[in-house]
Structure 1
Amino acid sequence: MNLSLKKEVQNRGDRIVFVEQDKFQKEGVSRQEFDGKKLTGLLWREPWGRVFYVGIGSQPYSAETFRKAAGFGVKSLLKIGATEISIDFSKQPDFLPFAAAVVEGAILGSYRFEEFKEEKAKRKNKLEILNIISGDIIESNYVQLEKEVQQGATLAEAVNYVRSIGNMPANHVNPEALALKAMELAQTRQGLRVEVFDADRLEKEGFGGLISVGQGSSNEPRLIVLDYQPASALQPVLVVGKAITFDSGGISIKPGERMDEMKYDKMGGCAVLGIMEAVSKLNLPIRVVGILAAAENMPSGKAYRPGDIIRIYGGKTVEVLNTDAEGRIVLADALAYGIDRFHPRLVFDLATLTGACIVALGKQKAGLFSNRKELADFLWKNSEDYGDPLWPLPLGEEFDEAISSDVALVKNVGGREGGACTAAAFLQKWIGDIPWVHLDIAGPAWITKELPYLEKGATGFGVRLICRYLLEQLKGKAS
């Protein structure tokens, strides 16, 4: 797709214009037909093309308001054959600060997963040209706006990249396939290196978590390390993702209903791929190391069992009580290794970790855990505007006590109460005193109902959040 920021474009193609509630006036259109209520639309034909008026409701407005409005508008126009769409701010300069969010919504709204559809069933057109019409603004503002618009496009394209992998079923994306994706990515991005640990190396170097979780499957586990290292970068930011390419639950097998959705248990790892694509494409002067802990959790005669004791990378031990609590086990390996090798200044992990987090927060917000209150507060405050909303959940001694084991350092489950919190407490055992953020994305990692700028399926949750945070760090606005 070709994106451009222009002060004006000639009257052609299709345009989107945002309309505030009760402020729309056009001869022949009554208030009952269209009054600008949020996410309502009116298609109007001009001699030169079509204008789609999108209602944004009443103030106050947020970035998400415009993200949704742009996605709704683009999806509506694509359905009626649009290929070139201009989003017109020329008469609404007060909305220009939201232009980057508009670009995100437009690009995210244009995505469709059609990999396995017959040709005749696929959408016949796609968004080929996206123009942002700014109107007349001073040159310095124009230059800054162009930078922000391009950043928004880069992040949205990275999210769509994640969605394209996340939506693939387990017979097409297994741990080895994820490793190939990482290698392909590294070949296309300057400054990005990749290292893949196969099962033999994992066994030899003591990655007991990945080996145990993956041993029930014929698809062997992988540890995938992507290192983006600009010349001037010092201590890295470490981003670790759970990439269980299919989670049957293992011996502690899940109910059959909706088990097909367990192809999405890799979304934390997929998000890491998207983050690494975005930071390298944006040429951020920050070293970022991304690690995917990739395995398939299956029941078989070789599968690990309840009651097993596993030795994680570095030597700490875990008592397994439930083989369906496998994500924290593979993350422990990845976190221990990443911290030991790279000595990061900050650690993020993303994981579709617990159903308990969905029970607590629903499907739209991810659980936020951190050992730094200032860091957690910043992410919480800004997450809605970034498009990846969070809600803070607690850590504490009571959760540590719940996972205390009589025969190992910890057990991998701590009972029904506070399930998301005991999972986070488990991960914290491998963190030490390094600033750390754990995101339990079990709720928003995929959706089963279409949203204004997202279709059903993988959402790419976490990519925009972490990349926006890194961009704010560069501006000195985030710790």
Structure 2
Amino acid sequence: MLVVRLAAGAAPAASLALPVAPGAEGAPATLVAPARPVPEQLAVECAAMVKQAPHRGGAGSVSSLPRPLGKPHRVLLVGVGGGAEGDWRAAGAALARAASRETALTVSLPAEVGAPAVRGLAEGLLLASYRYRLGADPPGQAPQLRRVAIQVDDPGRYQAALATAQAVAEVTAFARDLTNAPAAQKTPAWFVRQVTKLAAKAGPASQLKVRAREVAELRRDGFGGILAVGAGSVNPPRLLEVSWRPRGAGQHVALVGKGITFDTGGISLKPAAAMKLMRKDMAGGAAVAAAALGAARLRLPVRVTALVPLAENMVGGAAQRPGDVIRHWGGKTSEVRNTDAEGRLVLADALAYAATRLRPDRLVDLATLTGANAVALGKRTGALYSEDADLAGELAAAAAGAGERVWRMPLVEDYIDALGSDLADLNNAPEGGAGSVLAALYLREFTGAARSRWAHIDMSAPSWAERDDGELSRGATGWGVRTLLRWLGSDVAIPEE
């Protein structure tokens, strides 16, 4: 993983990055004076380059000034836009890629830069440098960048911001690793082992605990949805519980994440094209588990319980069938009309258990639940459902600060009748379109007394990136981890010094 550190008077690496800001009212971009002045000749060259640069200081734009006989031998002029945290995050991501052929990079920041700028820059560098590859790199294509020094006037002043960025990037990378892992490796038991390993490093054992319910316990306690979805696989289901319980914690937040480690669609089999990326169908579960571990790593003063119902939705002689009736935890029943609408069946168990047994102050679930999410909102935005305007606003603000996006969607009461069944309390695959809305309405039926303080985020589309895009690397994005950590109590915005 890329190593990012703070430095005061360290000599510049062979490659140096300097920030560029847009000019006022369409004027040319300007070089931002760094806290550590550069040599006069280099300053003259950079000023001339800024005037000729194709970009005008927009966040994440980069121009390269080669200096083959000079030191540094290359200067990267990176746009920082208006200087908000997100602009610096875009700048960091752009530098991670522009300097990927270098072994080291120094980024020289202006004097008195705010802590959010350092956090954003570091997050962008770390997140964009993430890669997941099991095979060898093609010759000459492996990134070389290993070290970045962020040059500031007073490193001690920004240490907390850098530490936060590093912790957030680490658990986001963990969620990406879980989601990227091939499904043949990623059984429910394997998922539990990975979380248990990281938990041993993330927080004190007396306050951070991991528990996994296996089949016998799931059957004894009535988790019928998890058992039904996992019945067709040779890899048994689990219910993972990660609990961060710091001393003196005030609020208790329960997080629930869909954990389908591979989804064939079951007997209602998916087409081949729709199945090829179904190893990502546990991205919501990865996000909430990583967020709980991140809360421990950051020592957030809030109690967090993350529940991840884990199952493989496979075809087999014991698999559930359309027309079956499932009894969920707590007693509510569902008629299975489509075995490919399985995520809501496992979430129903976990939500009912969380609402009734854990009695949290807030209940939030994340799930790669419907393709309708992508149709409505595209690839970079999650669909947010909640009856609690304050909770919805908090999550939207946290997402915006983290560089993720949500859009609040309606829970349309007129659609409730579509959830009815002649056999059971509900059916899992109502007809009539509005797929994401109907799925959210179905989940709401299991939130009990927590309904007024519950939120659901359908994040199927933004959980995966088809190409490198800003701080996102191709593949799993770890979407939701950064939003949850901001919302849970890490600084939604680090105060300016």
Equivalent of residue 107 in structure 1, options 120, 126, 132? 126
- 2:326/2:335 contact within 8 Å kept: yes
Deviation at 1:416, TM superposition (A): 4.0
Task: Kindly provide the amino acid, as one letter, of the partner of residue 415 in structure 2.
Answer: F
1-structure distance, mates of 2:331, 2:425: 10
Deviation at 1:208, TM superposition (A): 0.5
Matches of residues 276-355 of structure 1 in structure 2 within 5 Å? Answer: 276-355=292-371
Structure 1 residue 386 and structure 2 residue 402: aligned?
Answer: yes
- 2:244/2:304 contact within 8 Å kept: yes
Deviation at 1:464, TM superposition (A): 0.6
Structure 1 residue 263 and structure 2 residue 279: aligned?
Answer: yes
TM-score when scaled to structure 2? Answer: 0.88
Q: Aligned with 1:444: secondary structure?
A: helix
Task: Kindly provide the amino acid, as one letter, of the partner of residue 379 in structure 2.
Answer: K
Q: CA deviation digits over 1:387-428, x for unaligned, max 9?
A: 121000011322322212232111112224211111111111
Where structure 2 has 5 or more consecutive residues not aligned to the other structure, the ranges are: 23-27, 32-43
Deviation at 1:331, TM superposition (A): 0.5
Residue 5 (structure 1) aligns with: 6
Structure 1 residue 55 and structure 2 residue 79: aligned?
Answer: yes
Q: Which moved more, 1:251-260 or 1:311-320?
A: 251-260
Task: Assess, with a 3 A threshold, how the Cα gap between structure 1 residues 361 and 121 changes in structure 2: closer, same or farther.
Answer: same
Task: Assess, with a 3 A threshold, how the Cα gap between structure 1 residues 144 and 395 changes in structure 2: closer, same or farther.
Answer: farther
2-structure distance, mates of 1:76, 1:273: 32
2-structure distance, mates of 1:247, 1:362: 22
Q: Aligned with 1:414: secondary structure?
A: coil
2-structure distance, mates of 1:431, 1:143: 46
Task: Kindly provide the amino acid, as one letter, of the partner of residue 272 in structure 1.
Answer: V
2-structure distance, mates of 1:15, 1:339: 52
Q: Which moved more, 1:313-322 or 1:3-12?
A: 3-12
Q: Aligned with 1:330: secondary structure?
A: helix
Deviation at 1:326, TM superposition (A): 0.5
Deviation at 1:135, TM superposition (A): 2.5
- 1:62/1:385 contact within 8 Å kept: no
Q: CA deviation digits over 1:25-68, x for unaligned, max 9?
A: 654537444443534322233414532111245x4x54332212
Task: Assess, with a 3 A threshold, how the Cα gap between structure 1 residues 354 and 35 changes in structure 2: closer, same or farther.
Answer: closer
Task: Assess, with a 3 A threshold, how the Cα gap between structure 1 residues 122 and 218 changes in structure 2: closer, same or farther.
Answer: farther
1-structure distance, mates of 2:391, 2:248: 24
Deviation at 1:126, TM superposition (A): 5.0
Residue 86 (structure 1) aligns with: 106
Deviation at 1:385, TM superposition (A): 2.3
- 1:182/1:224 contact within 8 Å kept: no
Residue 194 (structure 2) aligns with: 181
Task: Assess, with a 3 A threshold, how the Cα gap between structure 1 residues 357 and 475 changes in structure 2: closer, same or farther.
Answer: closer
1-structure distance, mates of 2:177, 2:416: 37
Counting aligned pairs with the same residue, the percent is 34
Matches of residues 28-47 of structure 1 in structure 2 within 5 Å? Answer: 29=49, 31-38=51-58, 39-44=60-65, 45=67, 46-47=70-71
Task: Assess, with a 3 A threshold, how the Cα gap between structure 1 residues 81 and 174 changes in structure 2: closer, same or farther.
Answer: same
- 1:214/1:296 contact within 8 Å kept: yes
Task: Assess, with a 3 A threshold, how the Cα gap between structure 1 residues 329 and 444 changes in structure 2: closer, same or farther.
Answer: same
Equivalent of residue 456 in structure 1, options 468, 474, 495? 474
2-structure distance, mates of 1:173, 1:240: 19
Q: Aligned with 1:257: secondary structure?
A: helix
Deviation at 1:320, TM superposition (A): 0.9
Q: Aligned with 1:468: secondary structure?
A: helix
2-structure distance, mates of 1:475, 1:70: 18
Equivalent of residue 248 in structure 2, options 190, 210, 232? 232
Deviation at 1:121, TM superposition (A): 5.1
Deviation at 1:382, TM superposition (A): 4.2
Task: Assess, with a 3 A threshold, how the Cα gap between structure 1 residues 301 and 343 changes in structure 2: closer, same or farther.
Answer: same
Residue 74 (structure 1) aligns with: 96
- 1:36/1:54 contact within 8 Å kept: no
Structure 1 residue 97 and structure 2 residue 116: aligned?
Answer: yes
Structure 1 residue 64 and structure 2 residue 86: aligned?
Answer: yes
Where structure 1 has 5 or more consecutive residues not aligned to the other structure, the ranges are: 137-141
2-structure distance, mates of 1:255, 1:144: 54
Structure 1 residue 444 and structure 2 residue 465: aligned?
Answer: no
Residue 400 (structure 1) aligns with: 416
Deviation at 1:474, TM superposition (A): 9.3
1-structure distance, mates of 2:14, 2:449: 56
Deviation at 1:345, TM superposition (A): 1.0
Deviation at 1:261, TM superposition (A): 0.7
Deviation at 1:279, TM superposition (A): 0.7
2-structure distance, mates of 1:15, 1:192: 41
Residue 23 (structure 1) aligns with: 29
Q: CA deviation digits over 1:109-139, x for unaligned, max 9?
A: 111112x212665865554433222236xxx
Equivalent of residue 367 in structure 1, options 365, 383, 387? 383
Q: CA deviation digits over 1:294-326, x for unaligned, max 9?
A: 101112222111111100011110111111110
Aligned length: 466
Q: Which moved more, 1:202-211 or 1:378-387?
A: 378-387
Residue 170 (structure 2) aligns with: 157
Q: Which moved more, 1:243-252 or 1:369-378?
A: 369-378
Q: Aligned with 1:52: secondary structure?
A: strand
Q: CA deviation digits over 1:422-477, x for unaligned, max 9?
A: 11111111112421111100110011122122221000000010100112689999
- 1:235/1:343 contact within 8 Å kept: no
- 1:13/1:49 contact within 8 Å kept: yes
Task: Assess, with a 3 A threshold, how the Cα gap between structure 1 residues 317 and 30 changes in structure 2: closer, same or farther.
Answer: closer
Task: Kindly provide the amino acid, as one letter, of the partner of residue 118 in structure 1.
Answer: A
Residue 40 (structure 2) aligns with: none
Task: Kindly provide the amino acid, as one letter, of the partner of residue 63 in structure 2.
Answer: L
Residue 424 (structure 1) aligns with: 440
Task: Kindly provide the amino acid, as one letter, of the partner of residue 161 in structure 1.
Answer: F
